[in-house]
Amino acid sequence: MQAKNQARSTCPISFALEIFGDRWTLLVLRDLLLRGRRRYRELLRSEEGIATNVLADRLKRLERRGLIRKLRDEADGRQFVYAATPLAISLVPMLIEMIVWGARSDSGSDVDPAFIARFETDREGLIAEIQAEVRRSNGLA
């Protein structure tokens, strides 16, 4: 008896939603990919106030799905860090589009205008830079 979720469709959006179609997963990925948070406690203290059990659950799911890996901190062997895999890093373009959409749609958002300007004029470069930064910080694990 294989794990049978819920009648998997062949639609890629449906597939994506299986991974981050909930209220918390994408916020964790945001913190990992765009805010350089790599430790449990860092992820825990995000503005939205995720609960400890929920965070633990999301980290496990993301690891099972191959979006993150849990590594021992090289600087301090007693600590752990979560590193984004290439699969997660390839999600950056979508996250950027979501940020830009949200920033344009919500007057109450606090996105740096320089970020939007950069997006308008050099989308590819912006994405490449963010992805490079994640890879770099992964290397420093």
- Which residues of the chain form contacts with DNA (CB under 7 A)? 6, 22-24, 39-41, 49-54, 56, 59-60, 70, 79-80, 82
Q: Extract the tokens encoding 92.
A: 């950056």
Q: Name the nearest CA neighbour of 28 among 6, 3, 52, 4.
A: 52
Q: Extract the tokens encoding 53.
A: 């059990």
Q: Extract the tokens encoding 133.
A: 């930064």
Residues binding its own copies: what is the number (CB under 8 A)?
40
Binding flags for its own copies, 35-74, as an x/- string (CB under 8 A): ------------xxx-------------------------
Determine the straight-line distance between the first and last CA of the chain, rounded to whole angstroms: 38
What is d(CA 55, CA 57) in angstroms, rounded to the nearest whole number? 5
Q: 16 vs 140, which CB is nearer to its own copies? A: 16
Task: List residues bridging with 84 in a β-sheet.
Answer: 68
Interface segment toward its own copies; rule CB under 8 A; list 54-62, 75-83, 86-94, 129-137: 86-94
Residue 125 binds which of DNA, its own copies, none (CB < 5-8 A, kind-dependent): none
Q: How far is the CB of 60 from its own copies (least distance, A)?
A: 19
**How many helices and strands in the chain, by DSSP H and E?**
7, 2
Residue numbers at the binding site for its own copies (CB under 8 A): 7-17, 21-23, 26-27, 30, 47-49, 87, 90-91, 93-95, 97-106, 108-111
